Amino acid sequence: MRSGGSNRVPPRYTECRFPTFAPKTTSQERALTAAQHLANGTIGSLVLVGRPGVGKSHLAAAVVRDIEERLLATPADEIDGRVAPQPTYPVWQNVADLVIGLRMELDLPGWEREYAGTARTLGRWRGLVVLDDLGREKSTDWSGEVIYALCNHRYEQRLPTLVTSNLTPNDLALSPYWPVISRLAEDGELIEITGPDHRVDR
């Protein structure tokens, strides 16, 4: 895990900021407000769902950038002449990459009963964790258990989490991920974003 910088945010979203997000629907306006609330700590978690191209990843990247810029602008505090620990920066993780990576890390036999250090580290990361594109990977009982364990620890410890997904709320309700989604929504908001696909509807 890195201690600073934003190299985990994909280059595609390097320039995504709150001012560059142009909402065209009421749900996009609501999502923008909720993302700003997550960035400033007003809410603890946020789940953004909707079809591709409605701005979910843009807003997730904007939250990361906003937090990072605020941390970088804050001078280090000193306690008894010692510099305080370095602030914890956000981490961006694509869920499909996470699941594939975990499968590669685990040793057979019996890998279904374990989950690797990467998920444990994400679960205990003190800063924001973005889980991008939940549901794009092949959903299994095992992947559901891994994501549940990761997010449930963050929920219980009141650590900030942002999830994006192309699945609808109904799809999520029928998936192994629903226990996670309901917990995160309790600590923040679940917003289904509607609107044109900005990638093709120009």
Q: What is the mean pLDDT of residues 23-48?
A: 96
In this predicted structure, the answer to whether residue 113 has a pLDDT above a threshold of 60 is no
Q: What is the mean pLDDT of residues 21-35?
A: 97
Residue 107, pLDDT score: 53
In this predicted structure, the answer to whether residue 78 has a pLDDT above a threshold of 70 is no
Check residues 2 and 152 and name the one with the higher pLDDT: 152
pTM across the whole model: 0.85
Residue 56's alpha-carbon distances to 33, 101, 104, 156, 190, in angstroms, are: 13, 23, 28, 25, 12
Check residues 196 and 54 and name the one with the higher pLDDT: 54
In this predicted structure, the answer to whether residue 134 has a pLDDT above a threshold of 70 is yes
Check residues 100 and 23 and name the one with the higher pLDDT: 23
Phi (first) and psi of residue 101, to 5 degrees: -65, -40
Q: What angle do CA 118, 103, 113 make, to 5 degrees?
A: 85
Check residues 82 and 190 and name the one with the higher pLDDT: 190
Please check whether residue 7 is in contact with residue 91, taking contact to mean a CB–CB distance below 8 angstroms. no
Least confident of 46-55, 103-112, 165-174, 187-196: 103-112
Least confident of 20-34, 43-57, 79-93, 187-201: 79-93
Per-residue burial over 37-46, b if 16 or more Cβ lie within 10 Å, else e, is bbbeeebbbb
Check residues 88 and 18 and name the one with the higher pLDDT: 18
Residue 87, pLDDT score: 65
Give me the residue label for tokens 């699941």. 99
Percentages (nearest 5) of helix, strand, coil residues in the chain: 45, 15, 45
Residue 86, pLDDT score: 58
Record the tokens describing residue 107, joined without a space.
């040793």
User: Parallel, antiparallel, or unpaired for β 78-79 and 45-49?
Assistant: unpaired
CA distance 181 to 147: 10
Helical pair 26-39 and 56-73, crossing angle rounded to 10 deg:
30
Residue 142, pLDDT score: 77
Count helices and strands in the chain by DSSP H and E runs: 7, 7
In this predicted structure, the answer to whether residue 39 has a pLDDT above a threshold of 80 is yes
